[in-house]
């Protein structure tokens, strides 16, 4: 550990995310996340607001995963929390400053990116009160997720980070 404290264990499961210290320990080298060139806006809209709009109510009254695809970008939307919330992920080219992985989003900028898209999507984005931009990063595929001893293994993003478009 960074603090100098040592621990002993019979089994170690590393599930410490994309920037995994356990992954680097298993590989025996530094292995920082790789930039994908994309970012994601992550949005949640109250379904009750969508039900008030004739253009949007079908998205929440007939639950399904809705995908919008266009130039250099795509959007995925679906219901959460028993139909109370509509979750959206908008993937588009990364424009975050270097070394910034998340930032509060400019709603005007987000809406302009999708201004020529489906009128329903445009209307839905008008309901967004705030959101953030998240730089999408990934890791190289590993040949093995566990140590040959069988006493050290990785789980989740530490060994197989998944992008929202895979």
| pLDDT tens, position by position, 50-103 | 999 999 999 999 889 999 999 999 999 999 988 899 999 999 999 999 889 999
pLDDT in tens, 15-50: 999 999 999 999 999 999 999 999 999 999 999 999
CATH for 36-137, among 3.30.2000.10, 3.40.190.150, 3.30.9.30, 3.40.50.280?
A: 3.30.9.30
pLDDT in tens, 99-145: 899 999 999 999 999 999 999 999 999 999 999 999 999 998 888 89
- Residue 51 among the catalytic residues: no
Domain ranges in the chain are 12-33+139-160, 36-137
Catalytic residue among 23, 34, 42, 51: 42
Reading the block at residue 16, the tokens are 């410490």
pLDDT of residue 11: 94
List the one residue out of 62, 65, 63, 68 whose CA is nearest residue 123: 68
Quote the CA–CA distance of 126 and 148 in Å, as a whole number.
53
> Hey, CA dihedral for 10, 15, 21, 27, is it positive or negative?
positive
Reading the block at residue 100, the tokens are 């910034």
């Amino acid at each position: 550990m960074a603090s100098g404290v040592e621990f002993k264990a019979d089994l170690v499961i590393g599930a410490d995310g994309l920037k995994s210290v356990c992954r680097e320990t298993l590989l025996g080298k530094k292995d920082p996340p790789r930039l994908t060139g994309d970012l994601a806006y992550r949005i949640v809209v109250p379904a009750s607001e969508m039900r008030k709009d004739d253009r949007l109510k079908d998205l929440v009254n007939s639950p399904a995963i809705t995908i919008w695809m266009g130039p250099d970008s795509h959007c995925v939307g679906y219901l959460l929390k028993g139909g109370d919330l509509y979750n959206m992920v908008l993937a588009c080219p990364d424009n975050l400053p270097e070394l910034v992985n998340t930032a509060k989003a400019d709603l005007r900028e987000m809406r302009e990116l999708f201004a020529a898209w489906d009128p329903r999507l445009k209307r839905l984005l008008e309901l967004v009160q705030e959101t953030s931009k998240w730089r999408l990063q990934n890791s190289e595929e590993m040949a093995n997720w566990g140590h040959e001893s069988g006493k050290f293994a990785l789980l989740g993003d530490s060994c197989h980070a998944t992008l929202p478009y895979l």
